[in-house]
């Protein structure tokens, strides 16, 4: 049964050819086969949001999808948020400025969800932000600083720091 | 944990699906995976064959006008939240969909998957029973139509045979006020209790609860003008159900959400969408 199939995954605009067993979760293949360990795994039941990735621009759970299903999908992980690895996106900068992370376990999922939200609605209200983030659990920050960081980006373009 | 081994096949037609399901009695359809994959991750299910139906694009269509709506089984919950025709002609469906799980779950989970999973606390089964939806089903010997009231047998159990597949859900607009309300601990959690109320006029209507009994049932109720009498009427309706438990708290919630759903049924326009603090 453990026969492998090859799939071509498109992650952060790069193509990866990988051999996978059908039962391998996309989250595990992203982490273990591709070494993109920014995608975290907390619960494997869709509840915590740590594994959230963007699929064709929309947040989805990588722990609730098999890697064999991901061929042809445009996937973005936290590593792909900024086009330049040496620079943070304005949202990432804002997370840093607002102390929106402590241990960082939830941060990738938070960033991806918030990025998709701002794409869809560039000026969300605090309620909309909280509703969008309701599927991402953070055990450290108490959420306020995360909401502040997103609101700061929503409320006006921040000059990119040199 | 991780799922056990299985064979994986991608279907491109409904015919593929029913043929493959029929050929292997421990096979399962994989739709959005938002219920099946967690269950497999915990090894509570170990199908030998998964038939992925995500590429059957014809099942992602919605056709909707003022009187009728046909929803493909693979329409995502979030599409039901956002679709313009749905919001215009069947706003109840959009409001109900918004209450399902989190954004990331709604982006992948499907209407058909939710009906097949038949969680007693889930929104779609109750909505479909309340609106007397007709469900199109394909099997190896052809198609049949099941009314929603006959589809649900109890906890996580439906009338569908193991080799049958749901393809479409059809609803005719009942053309009277419809309301929806639910109580959950946090947005995105499964409902502790929820209700859909129809107001036929002349102080008559129906209530369909979810999270309260093993399956949704559309119960006729009188809807007197005074709230106190309505509460009694909901209480009487509740007694006709085989409830999940005798929990007084849940019973009180059931009465409360039924009253809220009644209030909701008389809102219009934007207020209908922002009831209970919703933003969409
Ligand atoms: C964190 C979290 C929170 C959630 N909260 C809610 C909530 O509040 N309310 C709610 O209703 N749901 C909730 N869900 C469940 C979600 O709505 C699922 O999308 C839904 O229950 C199943 O749909 P699916 O497309 O993901 O189906 P899958 O998980 O792929 O399949 C579920 C079952 O249905 C069968 N199946 C799927 N499609 C068909 C078909 N067309 N014909 C026949 N059988 C089929 C499968 O074989 C399987 O047995 C939640 C899920 C998660 C992970
Ligand atoms: S690991 Fe996927 S949601 Fe928790
Ligand atoms: S920063 Fe630790 S879980 Fe959010």
Chain B contact for A36 (CB, 8 A cutoff): no
Strands B7-10 and B49-52: parallel
| CATH code assigned at B34 | 3.30.43.10
Q: Are residues B167 and B185 in the same domain?
A: no
Helix residue ranges per DSSP H, chain A? 26-28, 90-97, 107-120, 126-132, 144-154
Separation between Cα atoms, residue A23 and residue A36, nearest integer Å: 19
Q: Are residues B153 and B121 in the same domain?
A: yes
Q: With a 6 A CB cut-off, is A140 part of the ligand 3 pocket? A: yes
A90-155, superfamily in CATH?
A: [2Fe-2S]-binding domain (1.10.150.120)
Q: With a 6 A CB cut-off, is B120 part of the ligand 1 pocket? A: no
Please list every residue in chain B whose beta carbon sits closer than 8 Å to the beta carbon of residue A134: 102-103, 186-188
In a domain, B126, yes or no: yes
Q: Are residues B79 and B146 in the same domain?
A: yes
Domain spanning A5-80, CATH class = alpha beta
ipTM of the complex: 0.94
- Mutate which of A2, A31, A39, A66 to test chain B, going by most B C-beta atoms within 10 A? A66
Please give the distance, rounded to the nearest whole angstrom, from the Cα atom of residue B48 to the centre of ligand 1.
19
Q: With a 6 A CB cut-off, is A137 part of the ligand 3 pocket? A: no
Strands of the sheet with B7-10, listed across from one edge: B7-10, B49-52, B27-30
Residue B82 has pLDDT above 50, yes or no: yes
Among B172, B192, B209, give the residue marking a domain's end.
B172
For chain A, give every domain's residue range: 5-80, 90-155
**Spacing of C-alpha A127 from chain mean position:** 21
In a domain, B208, yes or no: yes
B108/A49 CB distance under 8 A: no
Chain B contact for A52 (CB, 8 A cutoff): yes
**pLDDT tens figures, A112-151:** 999 999 999 999 999 999 999 999 999 999 999 999 999 9
Cross-strand partners of A19: A6
Q: Are residues B162 and B183 in the same domain?
A: no
| CATH code assigned at B201 | 3.30.390.50
By Cβ distance, the residue of B6, B38, B105 closest to A135 is B105
Q: Are residues B196 and B133 in the same domain?
A: no
A45/B41 CB distance under 8 A: yes
Q: Are residues B151 and B184 in the same domain?
A: no
Give the gap in angstroms from C-alpha A67 to the nearest C-alpha of chain B.
11
Q: Which domain holds residue B19?
A: 7-52
pLDDT band at A162 (very low <50, low <70, confident <90, very high): very low
Q: Are residues B187 and B254 in the same domain?
A: yes
Among B147, B172, B197, give the residue marking a domain's end.
B172
Q: Are residues B156 and B239 in the same domain?
A: no
pLDDT band at B277 (very low <50, low <70, confident <90, very high): low
Q: Are residues B166 and B63 in the same domain?
A: yes
pLDDT of residue B172: 98
Q: Are residues B191 and B264 in the same domain?
A: yes
Please list every residue in chain B whose beta carbon sits closer than 8 Å to the beta carbon of residue A65: 33, 37, 108
Chain B interface residues facing chain A, Cβ-Cβ under 8 Å? 1-8, 30, 33-34, 37-38, 41-42, 50, 52, 54, 78, 101-105, 107-108, 186-188, 277-279
Residue B177 sits at φ, ψ, to 5 deg, of -60, 140
pLDDT of residue A2: 73
pTM of this structure: 0.96
**pLDDT tens figures, A10-55:** 999 999 999 999 999 999 999 999 999 999 999 999 999 999 999 9
Give the gap in angstroms from C-alpha B259 to the nearest C-alpha of chain A.
24
A49/B104 CB distance under 8 A: yes
In a domain, B1, yes or no: no
In a domain, B280, yes or no: no
Radius of gyration of chain B (CA): 19
Q: Are residues B182 and B249 in the same domain?
A: yes
Tally of structural domains, chain B = 3
Cβ–Cβ pairs < 8 A, chains A and B: 96
B6/A22 CB distance under 8 A: yes
Separation between Cα atoms, residue A93 and residue A90, nearest integer Å: 5
Q: What SS3 class is residue A17? A: strand
pLDDT band at B275 (very low <50, low <70, confident <90, very high): confident
């Amino acid at each position: 049964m453990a026969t492998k199939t090859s799939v071509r995954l498109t992650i952060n605009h790069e193509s990866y050819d990988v051999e996978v067993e059908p039962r391998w979760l996309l989250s595990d293949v992203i982490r273990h086969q591709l070494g993109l360990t920014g995608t975290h795994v907390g619960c494997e039941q869709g509840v915590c949001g740590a594994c959230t990735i963007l699929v064709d621009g929309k947040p989805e759970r990588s722990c609730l999808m098999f890697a064999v299903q991901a061929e042809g999908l445009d996937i973005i992980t936290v590593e792909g948020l900024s086009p330049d690895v040496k620079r943070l996106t304005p949202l990432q900068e804002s997370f840093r400025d607002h102390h929106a992370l402590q241990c960082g376990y939830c941060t990738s999922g938070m960033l991806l969800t918030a990025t998709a939200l701002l794409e869809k609605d560039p000026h969300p209200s605090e309620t909309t932000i909280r509703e969008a983030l309701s599927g991402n659990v953070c055990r450290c920050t108490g959420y306020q600083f995360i909401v502040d960081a997103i609101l700061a980006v929503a409320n006006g373009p921040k000059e990119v720091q040199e | 944990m991780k799922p056990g081994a299985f064979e994986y096949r991608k279907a491109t037609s409904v015919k593929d699906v029913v043929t493959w399901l029929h050929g292997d009695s421990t096979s399962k359809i994989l739709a959005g995976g938002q219920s099946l994959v967690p269950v497999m991750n915990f090894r509570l299910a170990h199908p030998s064959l998964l038939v992925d139906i995500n590429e059957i694009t014809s099942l992602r269509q919605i056709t909707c006008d003022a009187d009728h709506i046909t929803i493909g089984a693979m329409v995502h919950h979030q599409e039901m939240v956002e679709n313009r025709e749905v919001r215009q002609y069947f706003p109840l469906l959009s409001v109900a969909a918004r209450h399902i799980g989190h954004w990331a779950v709604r982006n992948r989970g499907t209407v058909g998957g939710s009906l097949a999973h038949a969680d007693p606390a889930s929104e779609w089964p109750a909505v479909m029973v309340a609106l007397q939806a007709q469900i199109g089903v394909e099997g190896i010997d052809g198609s049949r139509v099941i009314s929603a009231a006959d589809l649900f047998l109890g906890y996580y159990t439906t009338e569908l045979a193991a080799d049958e597949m749901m393809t479409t859900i059809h609803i005719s607009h009942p053309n009277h006020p419809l309301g929806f309300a639910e109580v959950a601990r946090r947005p995105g959690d499964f409902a502790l209790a929820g209700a859909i109320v129809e107001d036929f006029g002349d102080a008559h209507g129906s209530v369909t609860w979810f999270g309260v009994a093993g399956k949704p049932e559309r119960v006729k109720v009188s809807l007197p003008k005074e709230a106190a009498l309505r509460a009694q009427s909901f209480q009487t309706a509740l007694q006709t159900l085989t409830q999940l438990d005798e929990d007084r708290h849940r019973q009180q919630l059931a009465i409360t959400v039924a009253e809220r759903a009644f209030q909701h049924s008389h809102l219009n326009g934007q207020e209908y969408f922002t009831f209970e603090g919703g933003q969409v």
